[in-house]
Amino acid sequence: MTSLTRLFVLDYGLFQVHENQRVIGIPGFLIQTNTNHNILVDTGFPARYATDPEAEGRTDGLDGFGRILSLSHDNLPAVQLARIGLEAHDITHLIVTHTHIDHIGGWHDFPQATLVIGRAERSLERPLYFGNASRMTWPSHQHEILVDHDLELLPGLHVLFTPGHSPGHLSVLARLPHHTVLLAGDAINRATEPVEGFSGAWDETLAQSSAERLLNLARLENATVIYGHDPEQWKILPKAPNWISPDR
């Protein structure tokens, strides 16, 4: 029977938010099973940001919000996956937490993977991307799972419908052999967000209730919460080729 074996954090680069100068990591995740599933969660910024981030930031209007601090070729999904010994065609499932620019950049690179995405976002004319810019098209995956409620994608791997930050946001609960990890995604951007409030969310009230639900679930499951972009947590998270172990 299928069960989860390992969860890796992928390092898609560093970004600085102008307001309060917060330095945030851009994460992806790779989850493996004992039956050769490789589930990728999110794909970082578009690869063109690794070439000329300033010009791209201006074009997208992202420069008003913040700037790329570091994002090189090494931070692209293919190179991060190579650290685990994987190639793009090894990816069986691509879970997209939501369609902001820092999560969908590489999603065209995995056409054979089953795309798992919030129905409310996939039904938009364009991906959310950033502000009024939308220089990404929908990918064409042969198989898609459109999510509008919680589902168990594989034994021990739960996709949670957590709208609010965006209309179709998804989080992930992974039951690993000796511990459980909750990938909150931008449903909880950082540890302090539930206290500070969800300003900037697509629907702040919905974001609040999704975050509360996730925190309750984490307590019930005794799960480690990995936030979307927490500056302090990012520094101490082990990155691929290391994997998340029970004491972290």
**C-beta of 135 vs 175, nearer to Zn ion:** 135
121 binds Zn ion (CB under 5 A): no
The piece of 12-20, 59-67, 99-107, 238-246 that touches Zn ion (CB under 5 A) is 99-107
**C-beta of 156 vs 168, nearer to Zn ion:** 168
**C-beta of 37 vs 100, nearer to Zn ion:** 100
Question: Any idea how long the chain is?
Answer: 248
Q: In this chain, which of 60, 90, 121, 186 binds Zn ion, going by CB under 5 A? A: 186
102 binds Zn ion (CB under 5 A): yes
42 binds Zn ion (CB under 5 A): no
The piece of 68-76, 100-108, 145-153, 203-211 that touches Zn ion (CB under 5 A) is 100-108
**C-beta of 93 vs 169, nearer to Zn ion:** 169
List of residues contacting Zn ion (CB under 5 A): 100, 102, 186
